[in-house]
A = this chain, B = another copy of it.
Amino acid sequence: MNVISKITAPTVTTGPLPASRKVYLAGTAHPAIRVPLREIAVHPTAGEPPVTVYDASGPYTDPDAAIDIATGLARHRTEWARASGDVEEYDGRLVKPEDNGNLPADKLTPAFPVAHRPLRAKVGKAVTQLAYARAGIVTPEMEFVAVRENLGRENLGRAAEKDQRARDGDPFEAEIPNFITGEWVREEVASGRAIIPANINHPELEPMAIGRNFLTKINANIGNSAVTSSMAEEVEKMVWAIRWGADTVMDLSTGRNIHNIRDWIIRNAPVPIGTVPIYQALEKVDGIAENLTWEVYRDTLIEQAEQGVDYFTIHAGVRLQHIPLTVDRVTGIVSRGGSIMAKWCLHHHRESFLYEHFDEICDICRAYDVSFSLGDGLRPGSIADANDAAQFAELETLGELTKIARAKDCQVMIEGPGHVPMHKIRVNVTKQQQLCGDAPFYTLGPLVTDIAPGYDHITSGIGAAMIGWFGTAMLCYVTPKEHLGLPDRDDVKVGVITYKIAAHAADLAKGHPAAQLRDDALSRARFEFRWEDQFNLSLDPETARLYHDETLPKEAHKVAHFCSMCGPKFCSMKISHDIRAEAQKEGMAAMAEKYRAGGDLYMTPEEIAARAEPAE
C-alpha cells in the first residue's frame, strides 16, 4: 500500500437499516471468512426470532466498520489469492492521459490515494473460479457463497417449520437444494451453470454467485456521461444502490475521468463491478467508432483488469453478417456497444475484431478472473423487434463464444433483452439455455410494452419477474428515467427496489426454500397489527413508514388494531381476530379438518349429493 496523495474523500450513506443488525457467519473449510447477513428484529410480542436476509450492502451498514472512502475497503481476498500460489504481483500498466480523456491536471478527478500493485496469474496458470472448480477445489469464494445463500436458515425456529410448505414452486429447469454447501457451489461453477465474478485484483469483494439455482440477483447501473461527471456522486450512487439490495453494479461511464472514477468505485465496492470496455476504448479514439482498433481495446482490457473489474460486457456476438438483419427493424440497434461494433464492421467491411480476437480476450480474462458477460448487441429495442432473426443469430454466436471461453477456463454469463412481450419471454430463456450451454442469463428487464416511458421500471419489472422465474440468474434494473434521462438518487432507489421485488417474486415462484420466510414474517406482522415490524421487514422501510404516517402520523397509531384505509369498524383483520376467538370456543379446527377430508359441516349426505349435480 502506497499513499499517493491526501485528498478530501466524499461522504457516503452509512448506518444500519431500521431494526437491523449485521451478523457475520464463519466458514467450515475456510473458518476465516466472514459472511455478512442482516438480521431484522421483530417485536417481542411476536415470540419469533429475527428474520435473516441476504445483505449486499457491505460494511456501510455496519456501525462497527470504519469507513474511509480515501482508503477503500479492507482487502481480505488478497490473502486468498496469494494462498493459491498461482498469482504474482507485478508493476502493472502506467496510467496514460487518454485513460482519463486527456484532461489537464486541474480538471482531472484526483487519482485514488492508495496505489496497489496488481496481481495476475503466473505463466501457465488459470486463476478463475471455473479452473479451481474443475480441479475439484472449493475456494474460499465458493464457501462464502454457500454460507451466504443459506441465509442462516440453520437457526430459524418457528419459521423453519414452514420450510416444506414454502417449497411448492415451479422451478422449470432449476434444481435448488434445501441447503447449499461449498461442494455444491463448486459443482455449479464447474458445470458453467453459475459464475462467481471475482477479479483477483478486487480483494475488497464479498463474493456472490450468479446462476439459476441460486437466489435471483439484480444489477444496478451507475456511471457519469459526457453531460455530467462527479466521482463523489458515482461512489455514493454505488453505496446507495447496494444499500437497497443491488448485488452487482455496472459502471457505464462514458465521459472523461473514466479511469480515476472507476478506481474510486472499485476500491470501495464490496460487490462485483462490471464495465463495458468498449465505452472507454471509444473515448480513447475521440468517439469515432471507425478508429477503434484491437490494440486500443486490448490495452483497455488490461487497464481495467488490473484495476479489478469483475466482469466485462463484450459484444463479440455482433458479427458483420448479422447487421443486415437489423435493417428492417423498427428500432434498429439499441445497444450502445452493439451499434458501435456494427458501425465499425460496416465501415471497414470486416469481421468484428472482438470476434476475431476472442481467444486473446479469453487469455486476459483467465489471468485475472474477469468473468465474461457476453453482450447482446442486437437485443430488441421495441416490442416489434422482439425475438427476431437478428437477436437469435447473435445468440447463436454467443453460444459458440461460450464454448471457446469455457475451454480457456473463463466464466461466462449471457446478456439478454430488452423489449419482449410476455408471450415471447419463455422461449427467449429456453433458447438461451440451449444455445449457450446453460450459462447464466443476465437480462435487461425485459419491458413488456413500449407505451409507458416514465414507468419503465414497471413495464420492465413485470418482464423481469417472469424471466427470473423462468430461469434468468441476474436482472439488470431499469429506472423510471429509462429512455428519457439520467437517473438521480431517487430513481436508483426505485429501480433497485422494483428489481428486488421482481427477483424475490421469481425466487418464490421457483420455490427457493428460504424465500417465503420473509413474506410470512411480514404477513404475520400485518395480521397482528405490528406496524413497526411491517415497516422494518419491508424492502423499503422508510417509504412504508412515510406512507402510513401521511394519514395516521401519531405514534399511538402504530400499535392501533386498524388503519386509515378502513377505520376500526371495517377492519377485516380485526374482525378475523374476533372470528378466531369465537372459533376457538366452537372447536372450529376440528370442523375444518372434517370439511377438508371431504365431508361437510352443516349438510346431510343427501344435500352433499344434490350439490354435486349442477343446479340447471
Report which A residues bind B (CB closer than 8 A).
162, 165, 168-170, 225-227, 254-255, 279, 282, 287, 289, 320-321, 323-328, 330-336, 338-340, 342-343, 346-347, 351, 381-384, 389, 393, 400, 403-404, 406-407, 421-423, 448-455, 457-459, 461-462, 465-466, 469, 480-481, 483-486, 488, 497-498, 500-502, 504-506, 508-511, 516, 518-520, 522-524, 526-527, 534-535, 537-540, 543-544, 546-548, 550-552, 563-573, 575-580, 582-583, 586, 588-589, 591-592, 595-596, 600-603, 611, 614-616
Cross-chain pairs A/B with CB under 8 angstroms, 6 sampled: A226-B567, A254-B566, A346-B579, A381-B573, A382-B519, A451-B519
Known contacts A325-B595, A448-B501, A462-B462; 19 additional CB pairs below 8 A are: A169-B421, A227-B551, A323-B588, A324-B592, A326-B579, A336-B566, A340-B575, A381-B527, A381-B573, A382-B520, A406-B616, A421-B505, A422-B465, A448-B505, A452-B538, A453-B534, A481-B550, A484-B548, A486-B551
Partner of A570, one of B279, B404, B591, B615: B279
Q: Which of A169, A469, A595, A611 has the most CB of B within 10 A?
A: A595
Known: A333-B575, A461-B461. A469 touches B522 (CB 8 A): no
Q: How far is the CB of A499 from chain B (nearest CB, A)?
A: 10
Assess the A501–B455 pair: CB atoms within 8 A. yes
Residue of B nearest to A382 (CB): B523
Assess the B282–A324 pair: CB atoms within 8 A. no
Q: Which of A510, A519, A591 has the most CB of B within 10 A?
A: A519
Partner of A486, one of B342, B508, B535, B565: B565
Assess the B346–A539 pair: CB atoms within 8 A. no
Q: How far is the CB of A533 from chain B (nearest CB, A)?
A: 11
Inter-chain contacts of A342 with B (CB < 8 A): 575-576, 579
Inter-chain contacts of A330 with B (CB < 8 A): 520, 523-524, 527
Q: How far is the CA of A538 from the CA of B482 in the complex (A)?
A: 13
Q: How far is the CB of A261 from chain B (nearest CB, A)?
A: 16
What 5 pairs across the A-B complex have the smallest Cβ distances? A332-B576, A382-B523, A287-B569, A324-B592, A226-B567
Known: A323-B588, A336-B570, A384-B516. A547 touches B501 (CB 8 A): no
Assess the A508–B346 pair: CB atoms within 8 A. no
Residue of B nearest to A385 (CB): B523
Known: A423-B169, A504-B451, A614-B403. A569 touches B462 (CB 8 A): no
Q: How far is the CB of A372 from chain B (nearest CB, A)?
A: 16
Q: How far is the CB of A600 from chain B (nearest CB, A)?
A: 6
Known: A421-B505, A595-B389. A539 touches B455 (CB 8 A): yes
Q: How far is the CB of A222 from chain B (nearest CB, A)?
A: 13
Assess the A526–B579 pair: CB atoms within 8 A. no
Assess the A289–B575 pair: CB atoms within 8 A. yes
Inter-chain contacts of A486 with B (CB < 8 A): 551, 564-565
